[in-house]
Amino acid sequence: MLDVNRLRLLRELSHRGTIAAVAGALSFTPSAVSQQLSTLEREAGVPLLTRTGRRVTLTPAGVNLVEHAEAVLEHLARAEAELARVRTGPAGPVRIGSYPTAARALIPAALAALAQTHPLLEPRITELDPAGVPAALRAADLDVALIHEYDFVPAHAEPGLSGRELFTEPLYLAAPEPVPAPMAAPVPTSGVLSDHRRSPWIVSPSGTLCRTMAERACEANGFSPRVRHEADDFDTVLALVALGQGVAIIPHLGALDPPAGVALTRLPAFRRTHVAYRTGAADHPAIAAVTRALRDAVPADLRAEAG
């Protein structure tokens, strides 16, 4: 009989591409992952992997088994959700991932609501970039998470994960004054970003969605940003803008209280936030409770944007 945990390892290998990456994500040693996959091959009775030096690829049988594994793991998630609903309702630990601006703007209100409505629930928050969320959910390091996508960086479907959109927020160009009035009506992107092709830019570190968004937005306007500073906290970014150190693209939640000397010009581009979880887990009492609390914590003006 095929072992479910080994099927999870095979699925992760199909997503990550290397045994070392699977080992690092799941806190195994590479040799342990290799041993488990070899055991899975013996259980399956057919070759699942092709090894060429250090490279490992899935055979057609391996690819087919991964598709079945996705279905099996989804059914298990649904079964766990049904059992939890019958057994206790929302109770026990629930691991919530969030990107920093949502953690500051939404999570406190959501936690306060959960404490009142579901006192037996134990939310545990982890901040991480949305780029790391899919792996953390599939590895069961998280149960539910807030992720976002930008107009310039649309999300792609992640096998084994599902979710729903929570809200949409506009993006702004943050620049030292004087610029057009703060929170002005949308203007053509080319009339704002192109004016700063020679300006120094403040961007997030490489590998983050925010960095990719800024680079693609500038490239869409015919230039690459001249990066002076890298910062992942929008308060820090705005402080640098106020000092005249550069310009930046800031989402609405990151620009709620800009310092003096910063002007925000609204761009015709948006960031969309979703709540994500493993496919089949939407009806789990804890995940459903967290999803409701997060939805209710969304500011009314952003709900209007989403509508």
- Neighbour count for residue 207 (Cβ, 10 Å): 10
pLDDT value of position 204:
94
Rounded to whole angstroms, the Cα distance separating 92 from 131 reads 27
Regarding the domain delimited by 4-83, which CATH topology (the fold level of the hierarchy) does it fall under? Arc Repressor Mutant, subunit A (1.10.10)
pLDDT value of position 88:
63
pLDDT value of position 198:
93
Domain 89-167+272-306 has CATH 3.40.190.10: yes
Question: ω before 154 within 30° of 0 (cis)?
Answer: no
pTM over 0.85: no
pLDDT value of position 150:
92
Q: Which residue has the tokens 């057994």?
A: 87
- Taking only the tens place, the pLDDT of each residue in 117-149 is 999 899 999 998 888 898 889 888 899 999 999
* Ranges of residues in the chain whose predicted pLDDT is under 70: 53-54, 81-89, 178-191, 303-307
Rounded to whole angstroms, the Cα distance separating 275 from 129 reads 14
What amino acid is encoded at 258 in this protein?
A: P
Region label for 28, one of left (φ > 0), alpha (ψ between -120 and 50) or beta (otherwise): beta
pLDDT value of position 81:
66
Domain 168-269 has CATH 3.40.190.10: yes
pLDDT value of position 47:
85
Topology alike, domains 89-167+272-306 and 168-269: yes
φ, ψ for residue 183, nearest 5 deg = 55, 35
Q: Where are the domains of the chain?
A: 4-83, 89-167+272-306, 168-269
